[in-house]
Amino acid sequence: MPAFSVPIAGALFGLIIGSFLATLILRWPEGRSVIAGRSSCDQCGHQLRSWELIPVVSFLLQTGKCRKCGARIAKDHFAIELAAALIGGLALYVAPDLEGLAGAIFGWLLLTLAALDVKHHWLPDRLTALLAVCGVAASLLVAYPALQDRLIGGLAGFVSLAIIAAIYKSIRKRDGLGGGDPKMLGAIGCWLGWQALPLVILGASLIGILVAISWRLRGENVDAGTMLPLGSLMAMAAFPLWLFQTAGTGSLY
């Protein structure tokens, strides 16, 4: 198989994964089954045919609207499918083997958590636990980070943010972090190792500052009580760090 075809295959597979993830992100918070039942329009209930379920292509062919009632299809589906394709393509570009597939899984799980955090300020324990377990299991495929660094990263990520959250609450008498944020940083540490955790926090902080600035430029109020989805910010910082770590020497340190 030509080398260039591997990332292309990763991107195409990512489109399929992204379609499933978009459905999961829509249905899970509503308590609806992700697997049971045929896909249908959320407005009129029109059951979608196979050609209406082709990732990205169907959205473009239908100009983002339901063919039956004309209701607009949520752009989240389109964005998540494209993001999942990009993740799959990039992961298998930097590592066209099982390590790349593991990295794609890392990115797809981060994408799901990020979307749920943005839309619902929710980081499900089952999903962060799966992220952590997959990170530890990935040590069977690659030498860096070493298993002990991943385990320390899991513990250090969780404990560090949990302590910060407790100190903030004791001083301000209110929650400053969501309960899922320490668990997510710990799960990211299981992938990148403890040495990368400061870079994850730094990257998340810089992205958060840019988000806050963009809100202010749009005229939105931003103050100490404004909620920023830290889990999403950490996800956006973590996957590029994995790419750099994998494409470089195999280590960030």
Q: What is the CB neighbour count within 10 angstroms for residue 206? A: 12
Q: Are 223 and 178 in contact (CB under 8 A)?
A: no
Question: Whole-angstrom distance between the N-terminal and C-terminal Cα of the chain?
Answer: 33
Q: How confident is residue 61, by pLDDT bands cut at 50, 70 and 90?
A: low
Span 150-160, average pLDDT: 97
Q: What share of the chain is helix, strand, coil (3-state, %, to 5)?
A: 70, 0, 30
State yes or no: pLDDT of 47 exceeds 80: no
User: How far from 7 is each of 19, 130, 142, 243, 251, CA to CA, in Å?
Assistant: 18, 25, 19, 13, 22
Both tokens of 6, joined, read: 């591997």
Rounded Cα distance, 199 and 238, in Å: 8
pLDDT in tens, 197-239: 999 999 999 999 999 999 889 888 877 677 889 999 999 999 9
pLDDT of 155 above 60 = yes
Q: Render pLDDT for 74-102 as a digit per residue (tens, 0 to 9).
A: 678 889 999 999 999 999 999 999 999 99
Dihedral over Cα of 143, 149, 150, 153: its sign: negative
Tokens 């993740």, residue located: 87
What are the tokens at 95?
A: 């590592």
Least confident of 109-113, 157-161, 210-214: 210-214
Which whole number is the average pLDDT over 237-253?
79
Q: How far is CA 217 from CA 119, 128, 171, 208, in A?
A: 21, 33, 31, 14
- pLDDT at site 178: 86
Q: What residue segments make up the domains of the chain, in order of their start?
A: 1-94, 122-253
